[in-house]
């Protein structure tokens, strides 16, 4: 009998399991197959960590706290999981222009919070970050307090840490049905035929969350986003300090990428935009030829040295999208002992160091300084999508 049963071994689930175990609760966690699961959104080689959230000061503050904690986790796990290589916001024209409100507001938030950043014109960009086409990017900002995490490795080490705290990790167990008695959840049945009795179940199943909790379907959906690995044989200009995590006019194009990854010999780029509506179990998650051509056009214009770089791997990774772009951390409105921690909406990994405490507080019926806007809420197709970095037409997804 568990006090809390976590459904899902991604960053939302494992960070919550650790926090609840630290609070001396009896915790179990279910996940299909192995953790990190090969199809999980958290399972990747890199995820960006940034405070650059446009005019959104709450995500700015959350990211600020998380960056400190990512450093602590490097110490805790005795491994460099978070690489503070900095973040480069590239703009094709002056940041002061209205079409670049995301970049300008992010820059203003950094400066007004006392962070020293380097504003670069085309000349300075070509000297400092020579891989980028200075003909294209006229105004950029480099913030050294940012970087990327090795997200799959993070989840792997956190799972081992959760086990060491007494969390029962049940791999190869897929939650399928809730056992509910007079409106109170008492257990979870798995597809593999087991029943797990618990006082409270927390659904942190990523893209499968709206399928396990169908009441969420009007507010939460699954979208697919392409990721590209380009083989880089001459990495000199693609390594820090000549390269950083970069966002290339991201709020108007969606394009972003990472420095050269020694372990894989590649430069990874991806697109943070609408994505494609996908059912997590009914789609082959193949990246289309059109998406590859779109990537080639971006590379040719922005990183010409990679124009002929072989494409060695592609992946369609899934966002658990809420219509407003905010996480979803709350109790189910009708079923007692059932709650949700999900809705990463393409930007949840960096918040790993704070998601666990936010979810544990919610589960224990406490409020957290950052809990209000992630509560159960009514959203419609008219809801404005508010994650400002994301290239979303008409701010609707």
Ligand X SMILES: Cc1cc2nc3c(=O)[nH]c(=O)nc-3n(C[C@H](O)[C@H](O)[C@H](O)COP(=O)(O)OP(=O)(O)OC[C@H]3O[C@@H](n4cnc5c(N)ncnc54)[C@H](O)[C@@H]3O)c2cc1C
User: Can you give the binding site for ligand X, defined by CB under 6 A?
Assistant: 7-13, 30-32, 37, 40-42, 47-48, 174-175, 204-208, 212, 225, 227, 270, 317-320, 342, 344, 346-350
| Beta-bridge partner residues of 277 | 223
Cα(109)–Cα(294) distance, integer angstroms:
32
Q: Which is nearer to ligand X, 122 or 391 (CB)?
A: 391
Half-sphere exposure of 257 (CA within 13 A, CB side): 26
Cα distance between residue 299 and residue 305, in whole Å: 8
Which residues, 6 or more positions from 297, have their beta carbon under 8 angstroms from its beta carbon? none
CB of 39 to ligand X, least distance (A): 7
> What tokens does 158 get?
């956190």
Which stretch of DSSP H or E encloses residue 142?
A: strand 139-143
Q: Kindly tell me which of 117 and 342 has the beta carbon lying closer to ligand X.
A: 342
Give 40 or 91: the residue with its C-beta nearer to ligand X. 40
**CB 94 → ligand X: shortest distance, Å?**
26
Tokens of 370: 């950052």
**Residues 56 and 116 sit within 8 Å (Cβ to Cβ):** no
Closer CB to ligand X, 40 or 85, in the complex = 40
Indicate the residue among 74 and 126 with the shorter CB distance to ligand X.
74
For residue 25, the minimal CB distance to ligand X (Å) is 19
Q: How far is the CB of 259 from ligand X (least distance, A)?
A: 13
Least distance in angstroms from the C-beta of 268 to ligand X: 10
- Closest distance of CB 275 from ligand X, Å: 8
Distance between CA atoms of 362 and 365, rounded to whole angstroms?
5
d(CA 17, CA 200) in angstroms, rounded, equals 12
3-state helix, strand, coil in the chain (%, to 5): 30, 25, 40
- Please state, in angstroms and rounded to a whole number, the distance separating the CA atoms of residues 174 and 34: 11
**Minimum gap (Å) between residue 258 Cβ and ligand X:** 9
Cis peptide before 51 (omega within 30 of 0): no
Question: By C-beta, is 117 or 341 nearer to ligand X?
Answer: 341
CA 285 vs. chain centroid, Å, equals 18
- The CB-of-103 to ligand X minimum distance in angstroms stands at 17
Q: Which residue has the tokens 């010409």?
A: 304
Least distance (Å) between residue 390 CB and ligand X:
11
Burial class of residue 135 (count of CB atoms within 10 Å of its CB; 0-12, 13-18, 19+): exposed
Nearer to ligand X, 127 or 281 (CB): 281
Which is closer to ligand X, CB of 206 or CB of 235? 206
With b meaning 16 or more CB within 10 Å and e meaning fewer, what string describes 263-277? Answer: eeebbbbbbbbbbee
* Cβ atoms < 10 Å from Cβ of 221: 19
Q: Kindly tell me which of 28 and 235 has the beta carbon lying closer to ligand X.
A: 28
Distance, CA of 131 to CA of 211 (rounded, Å): 43
Smallest distance, ligand X to C-beta of residue 330, A = 14
CA dist 259 → 83, 140, 215 (Å): 10, 17, 40
Choice between 156 and 361, CB closer to ligand X: 156
């Amino acid at each position: 009998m568990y006090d809390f049963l976590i459904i899902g071994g991604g960053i939302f689930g494992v960070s919550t399991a650790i926090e609840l175990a630290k609070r001396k609760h009896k915790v179990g966690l279910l996940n299909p197959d192995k953790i990190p699961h090969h199809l999980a959104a958290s399972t990747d080689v890199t995820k960006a960590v940034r405070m650059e959230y446009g005019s959104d000061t709450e995500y700015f503050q959350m990211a600020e706290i998380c960056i400190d904690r990512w450093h602590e986790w490097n110490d805790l796990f005795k491994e460099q999981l978070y690489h503070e290589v900095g973040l480069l916001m590239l703009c094709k024209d002056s940041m002061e222009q209205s079409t670049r409100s995301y970049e300008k507001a992010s820059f203003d938030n950094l400066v007004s919070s006392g962070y020293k950043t380097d504003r670069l014109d085309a000349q300075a960009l070509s000297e400092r970050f020579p891989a980028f086409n200075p003909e294209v990017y006229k105004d950029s900002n480099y913030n050294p307090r940012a970087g990327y995490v090795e997200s799959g490795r993070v989840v792997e080490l956190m799972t081992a840490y959760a086990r060491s705290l007494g969390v029962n990790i049940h791999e190869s167990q897929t939650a399928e049905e809730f056992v509910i008695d007079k409106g109170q959840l008492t257990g979870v049945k798995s597809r593999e035929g087991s029943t797990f009795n618990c006082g409270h179940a927390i659904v942190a199943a990523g893209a499968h969350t709206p399928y396990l909790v169908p009441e969420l379907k009007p507010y939460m959906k699954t979208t697919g986003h392409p990721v590209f690995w380009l083989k880089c044989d001459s990495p000199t200009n693609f390594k820090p300090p000549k390269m950083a995590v970069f966002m290339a006019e991201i709020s108007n194009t969606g394009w972003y990428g990472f420095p050269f990854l020694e372990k894989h010999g590649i430069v990874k780029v991806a697109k943070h935009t609408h994505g494609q509506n996908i059912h997590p179990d009914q789609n082959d998650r193949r990246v289309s030829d059109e998406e590859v051509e779109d990537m080639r056009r971006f590379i040719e214009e922005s990183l010409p040295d990679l124009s002929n770089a072989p494409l060695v791997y592609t992946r369609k990774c899934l966002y658990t999208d809420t219509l407003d772009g905010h996480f979803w951390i709350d109790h189910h409105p009708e079923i007692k002992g059932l709650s949700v921690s999900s809705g990463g909406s393409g930007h949840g990994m960096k918040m790993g160091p704070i998601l666990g405490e936010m979810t544990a507080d919610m589960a224990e019926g406490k409020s957290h300084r950052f809990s209000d806007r992630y509560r159960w809420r009514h959203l419609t197709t008219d809801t404005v999508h508010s994650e400002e970095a994301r290239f979303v037409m008409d701010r609707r997804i």
